[in-house]
Chain A
Amino acid sequence: MVSFWKLRQSPNFRFAMLTLPGALFLLIFLVLPLISILIFSFWRTESYQLIADWNIENYKTILGQKTYLTFMWRSLVMAVSVSLVCLIYAYPVAYLVAKRGGRYRLILVLLTAAPFFTGIILRVTAMQQILGPIGLLNMALQTFGFEPIQILMYSNVASAIGLVYLWIPFMVLAIYLSLLNFNFELLEVAYVNGAKPWRAFLEITWPLNWIGTAIGIVLVFIPTFAAFVTPRFLGGVNGALYGNILEHQFGATGTWALGSAMGVVLFFICLIFIMIIWRTINLQRSGYTGEEF
């Protein structure tokens, strides 16, 4: 009894009491579901029922059939290009706000983040209202006697624009938060010592803010790779991505086991991408000082 009283007083016990509830919740409702689809991915489905009949047919289908590989490749190209566009566009914007935003920088950066909260489906609807065949852009062109721009209607380009629209707030926010803790005076030192601006950027700003930038890239890459709403409404007939056939397994066809395997493959592709990015992070080069927060 006395020892229990002592235990309750210890910082470690209090740390556990405060952090364990949420951690257990995540283990049960995030990690266990992911493990469960890993298990189901080795089963098979028969007329909408999961049957515990261990096999690797689902993976053979996904990794062996050309259709699935095509969708995977398309999604990969889409995710890499959308991440690149977001990165190239968001960097100067975040840089400007962090360096020169002054007392307005909180509101300036929150304004870029705000649309994220209106939800995917409404933002895609809004985008379709601009880019679709009876969207504003096309109607304006027709009204003023121009040819419609085919490439912006129901195409992969339209999907890409929609995905940049959805996820660029993450990139701006991640780079901004990194630059917020960046000492811009380091650049002055470089200039005084004769460095050209681009060299100072490549050797100081970019490497010292690479962790934040890398987090931004991953936060855009993952939802883009898994996208299914955007390609469905903006991509047109040939615009389906990996997310669409994944979604299909849980809808009309009800092939739960194959769908689970596709989910597992999605998870591992994202994990491999995170690990590739992680390998490029050099904590010392990033100005990491050993403090955790």
Chain B
Amino acid sequence: MAAVSPKERVVVVSQSSLLVFLYIFLYFPIFFIIYVSFVDNTVWPFPPVFTWEWYERLWIMSDFHLGLLNSFLIGIGTGALSSIFAASAAIGLLKYQSRLRGLFAVLYLSPLFVAGILIGISSLMFHRNILGLPGNLTSAILANTTQALSFAFLVILAQLTRYDWRMDEAAMVFGARPARCFWEVTLPTIWPSVLGAFLVSFILAFNNLEVTFYNVGAIPTLPTIAWGTLRHGIEPELYSLATVINGLVFFILIILFFLIRLGFVRLGYRGQ
């Protein structure tokens, strides 16, 4: 850090305290709920009386395993669809200087500006009344993909702007067809960003409530179970459920962080 004047120091210190307070604000409730999931006296857990009861109750909850499986399936389906569409679109937009790229970029980012509940209810009405598709996993995956696609697109686009397209041109000059060029040159370089996009859309769909709830019918998923439980007042099983999901999310985010770093390193070789 460069030398700072006393006046600037005051600014930096106050900004830093805002940042620290933001971290506390964001993480304290999450860590508190994890802590509470391990104690018997959940209302005022000081001093704590440790117990596994909430995990045992969660484990024997009839919908839990099914919900976990369904959330996984929705996550994987959405992740696969989103990352394939997003990778293909990002490559197309950056590789070919089409006049239409602005229009397509706007279309791909537009779901970010549509409220989740609106995507939920409009998909419900469209799938059920026009496509004749009842609420099920397919319906939920299709609806979730619209929103997750935008996030996947952003993740890949952010990394791909550093990609040197002359590598592709070099491959083409030596006679590689576009498909071969993709499999042997582009994909081996950009795979961390595609996997990153998959993981981001996986997490979003896995945890989604307002889109999934309206499109999954009567099939349980973890967020809809949590929503149902919460409506009848907080029950301690919810804490252990939250801890399980938070653990999974943070595990994936750590992978994601290393993927981003790896992406930087791999694309850094191009020396632009």
A interface list, Cβ under 8 A from B: 11-12, 14-19, 21-23, 25-26, 29-30, 32-34, 36-37, 40, 50, 89, 92-93, 95-97, 100, 102, 106-108, 110-112, 114-115, 117-130, 132, 134, 136, 139, 143, 165, 168-169, 172, 218-219, 222-223, 225-226, 228-229, 233, 243, 246-247, 250, 256, 259-260, 263, 266-267, 270, 274, 292-293
A127 in contact with B29 given A21-B85, A25-B149, A222-B115 (CB within 8 Å)? yes
Give, as a whole number of angstroms, the nearest-CB distance from B27 to chain A: 7
A136 in contact with B32 given A26-B107, A114-B253, A218-B113 (CB within 8 Å)? yes
On chain A, the residues within 8 Å of B44 by CB distance are: 139, 143
A93 in contact with B18 given A126-B242, A129-B32, A134-B43 (CB within 8 Å)? yes
Task: Please list 28 pairs of residues, one from A and one from B, whose beta carbons are closer than 8 Å in the complex, sorted by A's number.
Answer: A12-B96, A14-B92, A17-B92, A21-B88, A21-B89, A22-B153, A25-B149, A26-B107, A29-B143, A30-B111, A37-B125, A92-B18, A93-B15, A119-B209, A119-B245, A119-B249, A120-B207, A121-B207, A121-B209, A121-B227, A125-B226, A125-B238, A172-B22, A222-B114, A222-B115, A223-B116, A229-B210, A266-B118
B110 at the interface (CB under 8 A from A): yes
Give, as a whole number of angstroms, the nearest-CB distance from B182 to chain A: 10
On chain B, the residues within 8 Å of A17 by CB distance are: 92
Q: Which residue of A lies closest to B96 (CB)?
A: A15
Give, as a whole number of angstroms, the nearest-CB distance from B57 to chain A: 16
B66 at the interface (CB under 8 A from A): no
A23 in contact with B178 given A229-B210, A263-B121, A266-B118 (CB within 8 Å)? no
From residue 27 to 84 of chain B, which have CB atoms closer than 8 A to chain A? Answer: 27-30, 32-33, 36, 43-44, 81
A118 in contact with B249 given A11-B96, A32-B126, A33-B122 (CB within 8 Å)? yes
Number of A-B contacts (CB under 8 A): 253
Q: Which 5 A-B pairs have the closest CB atoms?
A: A18-B92, A119-B207, A22-B85, A226-B115, A33-B126
CA distance A233 to B92 in the complex (A): 44
Give, as a whole number of angstroms, the nearest-CB distance from B125 to chain A: 5
B102 at the interface (CB under 8 A from A): yes
B interface list, Cβ under 8 A from A: 1, 12, 14-16, 18-19, 22-23, 25-30, 32-33, 36, 43-44, 81, 85-86, 88-89, 91-98, 100-102, 104-105, 107-108, 110-119, 121-127, 129-130, 142-143, 145-146, 149, 153, 157, 161, 178, 200, 203-204, 206-210, 214, 223, 226-227, 230, 234, 238-239, 241-242, 245-246, 249-250, 252-253, 257, 260-261
CA distance A130 to B94 in the complex (A): 46
Taking a contact as CB atoms under 8 Å apart, the answer to whether A89 and B18 are in contact is yes
On chain A, the residues within 8 Å of B226 by CB distance are: 121-122, 125
Q: Which residue of B lies closest to A106 (CB)?
A: B260
Q: Which residue of B lies closest to A269 (CB)?
A: B115
Taking a contact as CB atoms under 8 Å apart, the answer to whether B15 and A125 are in contact is no
Give, as a whole number of angstroms, the nearest-CB distance from B53 to chain A: 17
Taking a contact as CB atoms under 8 Å apart, the answer to whether B26 and A260 are in contact is no
For B14, B121, B157, B227, which residue has the most chain A Cβ atoms within 10 angstroms? B121
On chain A, the residues within 8 Å of B28 by CB distance are: 130
A29 in contact with B207 given A18-B92, A97-B19 (CB within 8 Å)? no
The interface residues of chain B, by DSSP majority, are classed as helix
On chain A, the residues within 8 Å of B93 by CB distance are: 15, 18-19, 293
On chain A, the residues within 8 Å of B223 by CB distance are: 119-121
B43 touches which of A21, A29, A108, A139 (Cβ 8 Å): A139
Taking a contact as CB atoms under 8 Å apart, the answer to whether A25 and B145 are in contact is yes
On chain A, the residues within 8 Å of B110 by CB distance are: 26, 30
On chain B, the residues within 8 Å of A100 by CB distance are: 1, 12
Give, as a whole number of angstroms, the nearest-CB distance from B258 to chain A: 11
Taking a contact as CB atoms under 8 Å apart, the answer to whether A40 and B117 are in contact is no
Q: Which residue of A lies closest to B257 (CB)?
A: A110
On chain A, the residues within 8 Å of B126 by CB distance are: 29, 32-33, 36-37
CA distance A211 to B161 in the complex (A): 20
CA distance A266 to B107 in the complex (A): 20
On chain A, the residues within 8 Å of B260 by CB distance are: 106
Taking a contact as CB atoms under 8 Å apart, the answer to whether A112 and B257 are in contact is no
